[in-house]
Amino acid sequence: MGSQSRIMSNSVLHAFFLLTFGATIALAGEGPYAAFTWTPAHATNYGGADGSGTMGGACGYGNMFSRGYGLKTAALSYALFNNGLSCGACFEIKCNTAADSRWCYPNAGSVKVTATNSCPPNWSKPSDNGGWCNPPRVHFDLAYPMFTKMAQYVAGIIPVYYRRVKCSRTGGIRFTINGNPYFNLVLVHNVGGYGNVVTLYIKNSKTSWIKMTQNWGANWENHNKLVGCALSFRATLGTGQTLSFNGVTSMQWTNGQTWEANTNFY
């Protein structure tokens, strides 16, 4: 009896884990951006050795060095970019040495990059000859130093394996607030955990939660007057994980400022 009930509770626990795990994966979406196991793709490089050509970009982060992403970044083909909802996601990428022993360095290991940009299609080129980012191709345009860690530059394009990994960040999640008293445009950055915010709410100490809409990349907007009271945020990642960040700003916040919460996703 004793051992039987122990087995039962074990299988109940097991079922619980299966359900929880299954729900997480389902919430992560169906696209190639939600690949958590090694998956084949291809990679090219851009932006030059100093990364100057990787600044700005379709996620809206601006200067990669002041944001903390540095040279460890990638531009994603539209299939991966998911209209900007993959901004901030972290990917581990390794050269497929079995498929390309000529250009992959044999013991290069992998690189971990943050999605900071999109790689737009070029319909004037075939997808197997220059139109590498044309849908439905799953393609990473890596910052030059990430590419050349794994393969010779002359390769141009290399076969890779990639998977989603957790982002390693220093400090709390950060919010840069722009706009005017009647319109907020909030850039979310330095996001830990799986890194890509797919839903964002805002409130001040006098309002209830207001759902923001994605403006572009990692920029979210709302049309409410929130000045004069401290702001809080509630973010949901692509994996479904949700956290509230309360009292992130002071009452005197103004547009153009960046505020850091004292917590983050892990």
Ligand X SMILES: *[C@@H]1O[C@H](CO)[C@@H](O)[C@H](O)[C@H]1NC(C)=O
Which residues, 6+ apart, have CB-to-CB distance to 16 below 8 Å?
A: none
Q: Which CB sits closer to ligand X, 36 or 123?
A: 123
For the CB of residue 48, give the shortest distance to ligand X in the complex, in Å.
16
Q: Which residue, 44 or 97, has its beta carbon nearer to ligand X?
A: 44
- Kindly write out the interface string for residues 175-214 of this chain, putting x where it contacts ligand X by CB under 6 A and - elsewhere: ----------------------------------------
Residue nearest to ligand X according to CB distances in the complex: 122
Kindly state whether residue 254 participates in binding ligand X, applying the rule CB under 6 A.
Answer: no
- Closest distance of CB 55 from ligand X, Å: 18
Q: How many residues bind ligand X (CB under 6 A)?
A: 3
Q: Nearest CA to 48 among 31, 64, 24?
A: 64
Q: Is 125 in the site for ligand X (CB under 6 A)?
A: yes
Q: At closest approach, how far in Å is the CB of 21 from ligand X?
A: 41
Give the nearer residue to ligand X in terms of CB position, either 122 or 250. Answer: 122
Q: Which of residues 105-124 bind ligand X (CB under 6 A)?
A: 122, 124
156 binds ligand X (CB under 6 A): no
Give the shortest CB-58-to-ligand X separation in angstroms: 13
Tokens of 204: 């001040």
Which CB, 97 or 118, lies closer to ligand X?
118
Q: In the numeric block, which tokens belong to residue 104? A: 């992959």
Distances (CA, A) of 205 to 202, 212, 226: 10, 17, 9
Quote the least distance from Cβ 120 to ligand X, whole Å.
6
Residue numbers of the site for ligand X (CB under 6 A)?
A: 122, 124-125
